[in-house]
Amino acid sequence: MTRIKRSRWLVMAVAAAALVIAACGGSPTPGTTSKGTLTVGGFNFPESDILAQLYGQALAHAGYDVKYKLDLGTRAVVVPALKSGQIDLYPGYAASELEYLNKGKGEATPDAAATTDKLNTYLKDLSAQALTPSAAFDGNAYAVTKATAAKYSLTKLSDLAPVASQLVFGAGPECKTYKFCLPGLMSVYGLHFKNTLTLDTDGPATRAAFKNGTIQVGLVFSTDADLDQLGLVVLQDDMHMIAADNVVPVIRTAAATDPVKSLLNKVDAGLTTTDLFTMNGKVSLQHQDADAVAKEYLVAHNYFA
């Protein structure tokens, strides 16, 4: 009867083994003893990549073994990941983290320190904590095209109140329930748009929608560097709906040793809003890699000295 020759079985076995070995070949070499492993997570927009790299590279330089889990998604994915220990820290935005955890109660204020303290009362339940907030700020911002601004004489968000019903608004999936998005626009500014489209959170779909006129008002972030080039202008938050969305590291208490905390706070202390804007520009407009941009910043500010 037809039996597969032993030599053929051998060939198959070797081929299979070779494939498996090749696939598993990327195991890390155990180097010198590190101070521990930390996994840094991030949201799925470029600035989060940059901030995560800033924290991660600073920690790596100090001797920690750093892993990254970037572009994970929205808070709804990142926060549970922190809670379950799959990531140890992520770069948060104080007011937004607070309003996410308190389910939109409205406790965030423009005071970064107070907001962070309140945030910490909620983070305790997740066995995590927020460190010292940075001066660097990036919050929700609402943009219109220059043409729309000219047509309706818009410079601030309250200018939208009379014309909102003629305009279409676009944002991400979490906007309908997120305090500093649609609910805030409706309650603080009394805006009722003609229609609200679910696109993405300050991503390519929102930009595309602006470009082809599908939306006239859209959610962006205040440190986005490509707005001017796209012909977009941000409307001023004159009634101070947006609270203290200062950058702040959110870290699991188990990982928050004193050296780690002081290192992260040191990085944050030197960070400004302009820095965010500049780094965003390098990634969004010049397509530089987030890790290269972060490294450049750290070197320039002597963190690696």
- DSSP run (H or E) holding 67: strand 65-69
Which one of the spans 29-37, 51-59, 68-76, 91-99 is the region binding other proteins (CB under 8 A)?
68-76
Among 65, 71, 111, 117, binds other proteins (CB under 8 A): 71
- Tell me, by CB under 8 A, how many residues bind other proteins: 55
**CB-based contact 135:248 (threshold 8 Å):** no
Q: Is residue 167 part of the contact set for other proteins (CB under 8 A)?
A: no
Q: 114-153 mask for other proteins (x: CB under 8 A)?
A: ----------------------------------------
- Bridge partner residues of 236 (DSSP): 156
**DSSP annotation string for 179-228:** TTTHHHHHHHH----SEEEE--SSSHHHHHHHHTTS-SEEEEETT-SSTT
Q: Is residue 69 part of the contact set for other proteins (CB under 8 A)?
A: yes
Q: 10-39 mask for other proteins (x: CB under 8 A)?
A: -xx--xx--xx-xxxxx-------------
Q: 206-245 mask for other proteins (x: CB under 8 A)?
A: -xxx-xx-x-----------x---x---------------
**Burial, 22: exposed, middle or buried (Cβ in 10 Å; 0-12, 13-18, 19+)?**
exposed
Among 37, 86, 253, 272, binds other proteins (CB under 8 A): 86
Burial 210-247 (b: 16+ CB within 10 A, else e): beeebbbbbbbbbbbbebeeeebbbbebeeebbbbbbb
Q: Closest separation between CB of residue 291 and other proteins, Å?
A: 9
Residue number, 20 or 300, with CB nearest to other proteins:
20
Residue number, 150 or 285, with CB nearest to other proteins:
285
Q: Is residue 46 part of the contact set for other proteins (CB under 8 A)?
A: yes
DSSP class of residue 304 equals T
Q: Is residue 192 part of the contact set for other proteins (CB under 8 A)?
A: no
Residue where the block lists tokens 């140890």:
88
Count Cβ atoms below 10 Å from residue 26 Cβ, excluding itself: 6
Residue number, 144 or 199, with CB nearest to other proteins:
199
Residue number, 19 or 254, with CB nearest to other proteins:
19
**Ranges of H-type helices in the chain:** 6-24, 46-61, 75-83, 94-101, 112-123, 146-152, 182-189, 204-211, 258-269, 273-284, 290-300
Q: Is residue 159 part of the contact set for other proteins (CB under 8 A)?
A: no
Residue number, 22 or 305, with CB nearest to other proteins:
22
Here the tokens at position 145 are: 């095209």
Q: Closest separation between CB of residue 214 and other proteins, Å?
A: 6
Q: Which of residues 263-292 bind other proteins (CB under 8 A)?
A: 283-284, 287, 289
Chain mean position to CA 54: 13
- For binding to other proteins (CB under 8 A), which residues are involved? 1-4, 8, 11-12, 15-16, 19-20, 22-26, 44-46, 69-74, 76-77, 80-81, 84, 86, 172-174, 177, 197-201, 203-205, 207-209, 211-212, 214, 226, 230, 283-284, 287, 289
